[in-house]
A and B are shown apart, each in its own frame.
Chain A
């Protein structure tokens, strides 16, 4: 690059002696530009010094800067003295954030427009042309650098002593692995620990104790608690059953109307789930088999369950088969019955994999 500059400069007009006292400051600026291969071809003030236009523009810019000062002061005053803490009935605090944003925004916009006006209107307009040196390939430089690098390679003598290269590679490869090992080794986690991907909180506890279905507040559920056509989100009645620790356990317990229940039972029998329902009650996993959102919008009239994330629709009366949208697998059904005390229990865990699909799901 610098060789070009000198080369060009020697071709162009003689460089000025910048210490010449006759030169104006602008002459020196222009000479500097020329040395950087820049030609200032047009440089023209937009306002004349001392004119009305100049005074007006100066006032505008100054006014904008003063607005900034005012708005910033207002920001500080509001920040300090405005009631800011949340009050239940929404008092003055609801204006706190808008006022802060407004004053800060006005302060910044005013200083921004002030600077812009200063730059665009008060400073001279200019057109400068700078040389790109495009296409002027420094082939000599290329040759020198290329030869230098090849020379260095020769000196190292990897070609003559290939063992050095091979052994270095052989030595470095494990080093790279050493760098990666702690990261991979530390993060890696066996996905099938405790068979966790195939079980939920409804898996029977040790001793064959069947798990109750409970509400969000942990109370067990009697059949009479759900009206016909109604539905309820239920959880395994275990420690932390109603928490994200059992994110795949939330289940939808539906009390179907008589005719729908018959249809549902027939569908159940077709897939060998004949005893999954209890009376007119059926329980399906709430976790969408597509992307794991809770499929929670139940349309009673059509017995469709819609997942609001990607609009997969499941037909409850047909084993919760997906009938529209991107889901490809039916919602697993939880076999339920009522225990001797009259509360819903899970006969067993889900017999199909709950939640979004993955490679090794059989």
Chain B
């Protein structure tokens, strides 16, 4: 029998036909490859969170091979000499082993921790982007809600995670968490004793936190992230206004090859930065804190940064205890308000915001074009208010460190925080609102009168005036200015943006303004004639 010759070049094609015969994927795959994504640096912030989450899963799986989630008392005999012979929980001992007796364990542990901090930071920054550009508006309210939930689930993931090593610092955090649960009226003591399996600290909390941290919470995160991305995919990404961009299209690049390559490269960069941080920057050196002992704590015990705002709110809360004189007498401890009620309000307000704003503006339309923050002054000002509130709380979470480093009285720091929390947000609202209006006005001014040229002309009567370069041809008015409408995108404010000066080349630190050769048109012809250059416009008018 004659052997058939294997045609290597035809193999992929044949295999592809075989796959399509069975699964009929050719057309769906084409649609996927062709999907258009708009491009802007601010759209990459959420991706940092996604990529950090991937790193978290990878490093986290590694850590589970070596971590022992048990509070059984053992005597440490690992290689870290200063703690040898110390009685401690198995959880703490195995965390020390990961740091000292597992080859490469410390770099993995530190990468895991840094990735968690970056995950939360990226979520917050991404959330700010979405908020300030109005990307949360209809039809994307659901994704906004999922995003806010992701922050809180990430918060829980972080808290359960850094409680696991059972070191001196995390044990104190756990102690505070138990006190927070205790402070809930009526059911507090039942909740606490059920979660801790008796009185604090009990013997089971680490194993319960472990299963929450490695299974329940990551499962929830994966589910929420999948829905989040699925919705972005289904609803298509928002885009900035600009030439040719309407509420009804997406202007950008097809997913393959360029967009996907850029995403892949960006993932590697995020991963690389986390690896650098994990290796070079020490984080949570648990061997310095010692095992958790209920009577040991030191000053400057701060939680991870995303928990600090709640620590701050706890520090600022005045000692207002509410006694309820019924029967034996009951009490609502002051701890209840800043740690249970405040987060509840924050969750409620943030998730409801899209609906509150739509209701306030009577806005029922779908919006796929983003707004510049200045064009929605009220929203931007509300956002600035929230940000300043958050910053005051976060700084107050470290007020003892600030007091120490800057030689300020601790009590003064507390009072500054209390007053700041009430005064700064309204102030931020006012200032931001005015700034937005000012920026708006400047845009309109440039549209009406043109760009400042820096050329001063002396008039016959001796006056000096600055020459403005109008943005449009004269419309026959006496002042020689045409009228342009503002369409929600950047108004050119420099001559080189108009092509009147050579384009600014990107320098290392700042743009170098020097004329360059006109870009050479390459041999490959454009697919279609390039559209006529048009004035800056969002295309909203062409809708």
Contacts beyond the supplied A97-B106, A191-B190: 8 A-B pairs with Cβ under 8 Å: A33-B34, A43-B527, A79-B103, A85-B101, A133-B248, A292-B176, A296-B296, A308-B301
| A38 is an interface residue with CB less than 8 A from chain B | yes
B266 touches A328 (CB 8 A): no
Q: Of B294, B329, B414, which contacts A311 at CB under 8 A?
A: B414
Chain A residues within 8 Å of B248, by CB: 131-135
A108 touches B268 (CB 8 A): yes
> Which chain A residue lies CB-closest to B197?
A189
Partner-contacting stretch, out of A150-158, A223-231, A242-250, A263-271: A242-250
| B426 is an interface residue with CB less than 8 A from chain A | no
Chain B residues within 8 Å of A188, by CB: 190, 194
A116 touches B333 (CB 8 A): no
A106 touches B272 (CB 8 A): yes
A309 touches B301 (CB 8 A): yes
A187 touches B195 (CB 8 A): yes
Q: Of B190, B279, B331, which contacts A361 at CB under 8 A?
A: B331
A101-B111, A244-B292, A359-B186 as given contacts; A329 in contact with B321, CB under 8 Å: yes
A38-B36, A130-B35 as given contacts; A44 in contact with B193, CB under 8 Å: no
> Which chain A residue lies CB-closest to B247?
A134
Partner-contacting stretch, out of B256-264, B351-359, B433-441, B495-503: B256-264
* Residue interface bits A97-134, CB-to-B below 8 A is 1, else 0: 11111101111111111111111100110111111111
Chain B's nearest CB lies how many Å from the CB of A10? 17
B182 touches A116 (CB 8 A): no
Q: Of A126, A129, A287, A362, which contacts B250 at CB under 8 A?
A: A129
> Which chain A residue lies CB-closest to B269?
A112
A105 touches B279 (CB 8 A): yes
Give 8 closest A-B pairs by Cβ, nearest first: A101-B279, A112-B268, A119-B261, A108-B272, A105-B276, A115-B265, A357-B333, A250-B295
A129 touches B253 (CB 8 A): no
| B513 is an interface residue with CB less than 8 A from chain A | no
Chain B residues within 8 Å of A96, by CB: 106
| B79 is an interface residue with CB less than 8 A from chain A | yes
A213 to B375, CA, bound (A): 68
A192 touches B189 (CB 8 A): yes
Partner-contacting stretch, out of B150-158, B198-206, B476-484: B198-206
A129-B250, A290-B335, A311-B414 as given contacts; A193 in contact with B198, CB under 8 Å: yes
Chain B residues within 8 Å of A325, by CB: 315, 319, 414
Chain A's nearest CB lies how many Å from the CB of B181? 9
| B522 is an interface residue with CB less than 8 A from chain A | yes
Listed A/B pairs (7) with beta-carbon separation below 8 Å: A47-B522, A119-B265, A130-B236, A132-B248, A132-B249, A297-B299, A309-B297
A327 touches B34 (CB 8 A): no
> Which chain A residue lies CB-closest to B174?
A292
A42-B530, A86-B79, A309-B176 as given contacts; A359 in contact with B107, CB under 8 Å: no
Residues of A within 8 A of B (CB): 26, 30, 32-33, 35-36, 38, 40-48, 79, 84-86, 88, 96-102, 104-120, 123-124, 126-135, 187-193, 196-197, 233, 235, 243-244, 246-248, 250, 286-287, 290-294, 296-297, 306, 308-312, 322, 324-329, 355-362
> Which chain B residue lies CB-closest to A216?
B295
A115 to B200, CA, bound (A): 52
Residues of B within 8 A of A (CB): 30-31, 34-36, 73, 79-81, 100-101, 103-104, 106-107, 110-111, 172, 175-176, 178-180, 182-190, 192-195, 197-201, 236, 244, 247-254, 257-258, 261-262, 264-280, 292-301, 311, 314-321, 328-335, 338, 366, 368, 399-400, 410-411, 414, 522-524, 526-528, 530-531
A191 to B294, CA, bound (A): 19
Q: Of A36, A115, A286, A308, which contacts B31 at CB under 8 A?
A: A36
A292-B176, A308-B297 as given contacts; A359 in contact with B331, CB under 8 Å: yes
Chain B residues within 8 Å of A189, by CB: 193-194, 197-198
A48 touches B522 (CB 8 A): yes
A97 to B400, CA, bound (A): 31
A84 to B102, CA, bound (A): 9
B368 touches A38 (CB 8 A): no
Chain B's nearest CB lies how many Å from the CB of A125? 8
B36 touches A130 (CB 8 A): yes
A306 to B411, CA, bound (A): 11
In this complex, the member of B266, B333, B368, B528 whose beta carbon has the largest number of chain A beta carbons within 10 angstroms is: B333
Q: Of B80, B190, B295, which contacts A296 at CB under 8 A?
A: B295
B332 touches A359 (CB 8 A): yes
A201 to B299, CA, bound (A): 27
A247 touches B200 (CB 8 A): yes
Q: Of B101, B272, B298, which contacts A109 at CB under 8 A?
A: B272
Chain A residues within 8 Å of B311, by CB: 310
A102-B279, A291-B175 as given contacts; A128 in contact with B252, CB under 8 Å: yes
B527 touches A112 (CB 8 A): no
Chain A residues within 8 Å of B293, by CB: 244
B35 touches A293 (CB 8 A): no
A294 touches B297 (CB 8 A): yes
A110 to B277, CA, bound (A): 16
Chain B residues within 8 Å of A79, by CB: 103-104
B280 touches A102 (CB 8 A): yes
Chain B's nearest CB lies how many Å from the CB of A208? 24
Q: Of B269, B274, B292, which contacts A116 at CB under 8 A?
A: B269
Chain B residues within 8 Å of A135, by CB: 247-248, 366
A113 to B261, CA, bound (A): 11
Chain A residues within 8 Å of B81, by CB: 86, 88
A45 to B525, CA, bound (A): 9
> Which chain A residue lies CB-closest to B328?
A362
Chain A's nearest CB lies how many Å from the CB of B524? 5
A84-B103, A135-B366 as given contacts; A115 in contact with B414, CB under 8 Å: no
> Which chain B residue lies CB-closest to A322?
B319
Chain A's nearest CB lies how many Å from the CB of B435? 32
Chain B's nearest CB lies how many Å from the CB of A186? 9
Chain A residues within 8 Å of B399, by CB: 311
A297 to B271, CA, bound (A): 42
> Which chain A residue lies CB-closest to B525?
A44
